[in-house]
Structure 1
Amino acid sequence: MSIASPSPSPEPDAPSTGFRADPPSVQRFIDRFFEALAREGVREVVISPGSRSTPLAVAADRRPDLRTRVILDERSAGFFALGLARASQRPVALVCTSGTAAANYLPAIVEAHYSRIPLVVLTADRPPELRDWAAGQTIVQADLYARHCRWSVEVPVPAGGAGPLRYAAQLGSRAAARAAGRPAGVVHLNWPLREPLTPGPDAFPIRDMGAQASHLHFHTSTAESVSRPEDVEELVALARAHARGVICCGPMDMGPGLARSIDAFARASGWPVLADPASCLRQASQEGSDAPGAIHLDLADAFLRSERFRMSMRPDVVVRIGDVPVSKIQRLWIEASAPRHLWWLDEGEHWGDPSHRVTRVVRGGARSLLFEAAGALEDHSASMPAWREGFVRANRVARNVVSRSVGPEAEWFGLSVVARACACLPDGSMLYVSNSMPIRLLDLGLRNRPVPLRVLCNRGANGIDGVTSSALGAAAASGGPALLMTGDLAFLHDLGALAIPRHERIPLTILILDDNGGGIFSNLPIA
């Protein structure tokens, strides 16, 4: 398939306005931009084909260090790029033509913004002389995504000369760095492009760019290796003074370094870990109040439904890591417990505190903070083993109850399917799960494993659109065994995604949980 779909005849803007592009100059400018994107770590470009975006699509496709993927439907393309970026943890570029094509990216951009996924969105546009003159396929695209972007730029009409080329290189470097920064997010560049849109035969050869390449490099500090001494001292003091503590890990694609630091601190403090299904921390642990290892609890949503347990097991300290937990029961328990100390360790700028009870927010450096605190607690002997044992016992009872719900004769068929599917997945698998009922069933059905599954979910805006496209993108980036667990409504919302595998060989198994549309609504109080 062609990466661009130019019109069979020239569009009317060039002859009617007298403005014309110089194709070699335009291509040099855009080539320089994509060279900088690639240098800063972009490896994938998802293209929604169209006429106005031809120079952008051609420039991306000409680069050997960029992989271009063509997806016709913009909505599917946006979520596919989101899945690619989420799984690869690299910024991904999106390219589309002008008009409503750009508007169709909005749902994916909203999710990427709230999930802190790095996307560089390149929307082609009509040039200034055609805006607000009733020209076809022309809408207001400047600042189209408004507050859902980390950075939004109206790119000048590409031109030749040394100055514009330096600007193009810096623009590409800065766009990639802003998208991949902390927090990661969406960068939108709106490109006004004039006719003619196809590069001429004397366009700037890609192989000649090296001699004139800009050498601007951005070094974005991730703050992962930095922690404040006062935070370490305070956390250590809390662990020594309070035995009744818990570590709540919400949705977050935690790397092995952060996971090890959480384990080390949980072991040193004696506080149990309540692991969200999308925290990637559902890993087996030694059970028992005197167990030397960290205790990971995989059924908090089940045992916290006991009012007696909730009333008797109120924490004094809660350390939250990652986004807001999926389990509403867990959130209400923390709120009702009113802990004296509620810490939130986060890498971004979003304020994830809907109950307004957080007493301390630590931005960045969670891994080093937890490792250093664990090291300082080496001589600490966790008191009150009954606290740990209470959680272990409750988790064990809940496991027995859930196990009876997943057998061949189980009434709760959806939970049985989810639990069996998770048990069949080999180590190293990726599981993408839809919001609504699937993620809640997963909360009950995903058991601790020796090697935890990588579980991804669009929890930024908690919507059910674009799930299949997102999973296909993530599967394309991961390359290993991948399962999508989705509901029937979420699947129907994204039927356009089924066209993607026609052009991309992506290993993905789709499991549809059909509850006749919106089974979660039966759990509402009004039902």
Structure 2
Amino acid sequence: MKYSSIPSAQTVIRHCKANGIDNIVISPGSRNSPLTIGFSEDPSFKCFSIVDERCAAFFALGIAQQLQKPVALLCSSGSALLNYYPAIAEAYYSDIPLVVITADRPPQKIDIGDGQTIRQENVFDNHIGYSANLKLDIKNTNPLELSDTDRVKQASIQKHNDDQLVKSLEAAFNNKTPVHINIPFEEPLYGVVDMPIISSTTATRNEKELQVVEDLDSYIKLWNASKRKMILVGVHYPDEKVQQLLDSIANDPSVIVFTETTSNIHHPNFFGSIDSIIAPIEKSKDKEGLFQKLRPEILLTFGGLIVSKKIKAFLRKFSPINHWHIDQKKANNTFYCLSHHFKVEPNHFFEAFNKGIVAQASDYFSYWDHIKRGYQIKRQAYMDQIAFSDMLAFHHIFKNIPQRYQLQLANSSTIRYAQLFDLDPSLRVFCNRGTSGIDGSTSTAIGASIVKKEPTLFITGDLSFFYDSNALWNNYMRSDFRIIVLNNEGGGIFRILPGQEDTENFETYFETVHHLEASHLCHMYQMEYQKVENEKELDLALHTFFEKSHNPKLLEIKTPRVLNNKILLSYFDFIS
């Protein structure tokens, strides 16, 4: 096995190894070669080579999303690391741990006109859990070969670097956050030795302390005295224990549970299509009275960011008396009425909370459950009569996804359509909702797909797909990886939002009308490709789309650009 001859490179690698960071996503470069050599030569690490740094960062994010543990990123100096920023921001707001390692030029080379050199220290400060700026070694050599004076200086540098690495990795593990490690290297960069020159490093991260739930008596008393309680679940990693604990609340007539598609929480008594409840109220003559009837006395939330704009608008205007949020790390005041933050994981909270709560007589659940059953019947009737469109395509897609698939969803229209349908409870659903951007959805899905046994389906719109088309440029796509692209030749989300959708400026600068197809990309990246343009073709394609194949598959569904928004908006009129 070969080791880089540079002490600081060996130090970084040893800290990663000691702390169990074993997935390393590397983008090619020269300045990062000491680390590339060290990681790729050590069989303890699983290394991935992704050329495009933006794709590489989202690819790593997908792996970390699924493993729920830090994944390391490695790139060269200069603008390379700036391409990491979108994924770092997503990881920051989604509480996904990434260890971002960037090679830098020596300090004396900064701002003198040297090539591939920018100010890298603390460059991600607004969206990072910790920034570690390592110091340049005295020389690229064994410390034992230095003079006595230089050896003392190198020992001080080594201590600084060790301390910074300890702090950064502790933050990544304990706070579930991205961290940045910036490390300067001086040439020569490619020197190797047969034996390590840095002594072994032990694990530095602290084990999580046993979580203690605060005294809940006063909150349980309030809960039991209330006739209208609402539980709202945002982005949440699949968790059988939390599911079981919520199931025990499902039959309380004073509780309604709103679940988003990304919550991975299911029960026949829960409300999965939030907008299908709220949109008809918005159109009602008795809007004020119905919203007051829906208004909870207590709102209990957990999970990540909420997709539904309608539930946010409702709860901001018709505020609950109490809003409690459960999360070990943070509590966003999304509805401007946060009254308490339970700093504990949901399973620990509900284990303690459920012991004291008592079901209360109320018509809160029964009234809104009747509304829910009504719109479910009307939704099916609507699907039976509408023309081929995005909405009808999603209806057929969700009916045909095999059980136990990992389902990755792109942002904008895709995640919003998914919110309107009932998905099979065996599906594990994910979407980059931290910043809600379209920029790395495909890369995230591919990264997420390679670390789980179950096959993955990624559903995306055309703009998201073409925007991140470099995601396909890798050697890691599994043969059972599937992509469905809804191609309506533009940004369909902008036709749903208020705007002047019939003007030339709208089509050019908002909708960005195009006539691109995915067939040539599939040919270049050796993916099986199929295109459908009507309901019959879609049904036939879906019957074979998930069958085994030698290569990954992409199904492109062409839908009418100027009809989709009308059919979606008319859905809310129909169920009203």
- Structure 1 residue 145 corresponds to structure 2 residue 119: no
Name 2:240's counterpart in structure 1: 256
* Deviation sequence 1:207-258 (CA, Å, 0-9, x none): x97xx423343224266x42111xx223311221002111000122242233
2:407 pairs with one of 427, 431, 452: 431
Q: Does 2:201 align with 1:214?
A: yes
Matched, 1:86 2:65: yes
Structure 2 residue aligned with 1:387: 364
246-255 or 152-161, larger mean C-alpha shift: 152-161
CA distance in 1, matches of 2:4, 2:452: 38
The corresponding residue for 1:243 is 227
Find the partner of 1:124 among 99, 103, 118. Answer: 103
Instruction: Check 1:513–1:57 CA distance in 2 against 1; reply closer, same or farther (3 A cut).
Output: same
Secondary structure class of the residue paired with 1:306: helix
Which residue of 2 is the match for residue 398 of structure 1?
A: 375
SS for the counterpart of 2:206 is: coil
Taking only aligned residues, the RMSD between alpha carbons, in angstroms, comes to: 2.3
| Structure 2 partner of 1:289 | none
Aligned-pair CA distance for 1:169: 5.1
Looking at structure 2, the residues matched to 334 and 56 of structure 1 have their Cα atoms a distance apart, in angstroms, of: 50
CA contact (8 A) 1:177 1:220 kept: no
1:463 matched to which residue of 2?
437
C-alpha deviations, 1:452-496, integer Å up to 9, x for none? 421111111111111100111111122311111111111111011
Matched, 1:204 2:195: yes
* Matching of residues 151-166 of structure 1 within 5 Å: 151-158=130-137, 160-161=142-143, 163=155
Are 2:172 and 1:179 equivalent residues in the alignment?
Answer: yes
1:326 match: 307
CA distance in 2, matches of 1:228, 1:266: 24
Secondary structure of the structure 2 residue equivalent to 1:510: strand
Letter in 2 for 1:391: W
Moved over 3 A (4+): 158-174, 264-270, 502-507
The separation in 1 between residues aligned to 2:253 and 2:221, in whole angstroms, is: 10
- Aligned partner of 2:485 in structure 1 is 512
Question: Residue 371 of structure 1 is aligned with which of 351, 357, 372?
Answer: 351
Which residue number in structure 1 is paired with residue 390 of structure 2?
Answer: 414
- TM-score, length-normalised on structure 2? 0.78
Q: Which runs of 5+ in 2 are unaligned?
A: 144-153, 501-576
Greater relative contact order, per chain length (Cα 8 Å cut-off, separation 6+): 1
Aligned to 2:473, the other structure's residue is in SS state helix
| Counterpart amino acid of residue 333 in structure 1 | F
Residues 112 and 460, structure 1, Cα contact 8 Å, conserved in 2: yes
- Output the amino acid matched with 2:327: D
The residue identity in structure 1 corresponding to 2:263 is S
Instruction: Give the drift of 1:438.
Output: 0.5
Shift in Å, 1:170: 5.1
In structure 2, what is the Cα distance between the partners aligned to 1:405 and 1:44?
A: 47
1:303 aligns with 2:277: yes
Distance 2:253 2:170 in 1: 37
The answer (yes or no) to whether the contact 2:325–2:338 under 8 Å persists in 1 is yes
- Paired amino acid for 2:205: F
Could you tell me how far 1:269 is from its partner in structure 2?
A: 7.8
1:190 matched to which residue of 2? 182
The CA distance in 1 between the partners of 2:128 and 2:344, in whole Å, is: 20
Indicate the residue corresponding to 1:20 in structure 2: none
- Separation of aligned partners in 2, 1:274 and 1:222: 31
**1:94, 1:216 → 2: CA distance?**
20
Please say if residues 320 and 344 of structure 1, whose CA atoms lie closer than 8 Å, have aligned partners that are also in contact: yes
Alignment-mate amino acid for residue 521 of structure 1: F
Task: Give the partner amino acid of 2:341.
Answer: V
TM-score normalized by the length of structure 1: 0.85
Contact 2:260-2:272 within 8 A present in 1 as well: yes
Task: Tell me: CA distance 1:486–1:77, structure 2 relative to 1, closer, same or farther (3 Å).
Answer: same
Distance (Å, rounded) in 1 between the aligned partners of 2:200 and 2:29? 29
Amino acid at match of 1:323: G
User: How many pairs are equivalent?
Assistant: 477
Q: How far apart in 2 are the matches of 1:38 and 1:422?
A: 41
| Distance in 2 separating the partners of 1:445 and 1:125 | 48
- Distance in 1 of aligned mates of 2:447 and 2:114: 35
Name the CA shift for 1:64/1:328 in 2 (closer, same or farther; >3 Å). same
Distance 1:264 1:284, change over 3 A: closer
How far is the alpha carbon of 1:388 from its aligned partner? 1.1
8 A contact 2:132–2:181 mirrored in 1: yes
Question: Partner of 2:65: helix, strand, or coil?
Answer: helix
Contact 2:132-2:168 within 8 A present in 1 as well:
no
Q: Any conservation in 1 of the 2:253–2:366 contact (CA below 8 Å)?
A: no
Contact 1:100/1:137 (<8 A) preserved: yes
Amino acid corresponding to residue 327 of structure 1 in structure 2:
S
Contact 1:120 1:179 in 2 (8 A): yes
The residue that corresponds to 1:49 in the other structure is: 28
Measured at CA, do residues 222 and 411 of structure 1 come closer, stay the same or move farther in structure 2, by a change above 3 Å? Answer: farther
Q: CA shift at 1:306, angstroms?
A: 2.3
Letter matched to residue 495 of structure 2 = S
User: How far is 1:172 from its partner?
Assistant: 4.1
CA distance in 2 between counterparts of 1:107 and 1:204 reads 38
AA paired with 2:486?
L
Q: CA 1:157–1:233 in 2, change beyond 3 Å: closer, same or farther?
A: same
Deviation at 1:265, TM superposition (A): 4.2
2:208 maps to a residue whose letter is S
Match of 1:313 in 2: 294
Gaps of 5+ in 1: 1-22, 286-294
Supply the AA of the counterpart residue of 2:115. Answer: G
Deviation, structure 1 residue 85: 0.7
1:495 match = 469
Task: Write the distance in 1 (CA, Å) between the matches of 2:65 and 2:195.
Answer: 34
**What CA distance in whole angstroms lies between the structure 1 residues aligned with 2:16 and 2:252?**
43
Cα 1:247–1:357, aligned 2, differ >3 Å: closer, same or farther? same
| CA displacement 1:45-65 (0-9 Å, x = unmatched) | 000010000001111112222
The residue identity in structure 1 corresponding to 2:497 is L
After superposition, give the CA deviation of every residue in 1:286-315 in whole Å (9 maximum; x if it has no partner): xxxxxxxxx211122102112254343221
- Equivalents in 2 of 1:375, 1:426: separation in Å? 37
Aligned equivalent of 2:422, options 442, 446, 449: 446
**Aligned residue in 2 for 1:290:** none
Equivalent-residue separation in structure 2 for 1:241 and 1:261 (angstroms): 21
Opposite residue 399 of structure 2, the aligned amino acid is A
Asked whether the equivalents of residues 446 and 477 of structure 2 are also in contact (C-alpha less than 8 Å), the reply is no
Q: How far did 1:24 drift?
A: 5.8
Query: What CA distance in whole angstroms lies between the structure 1 residues aligned with 2:390 and 2:159?
Result: 57
Alpha-carbon distance in structure 1 between the residues aligned to 2:309 and 2:410:
17
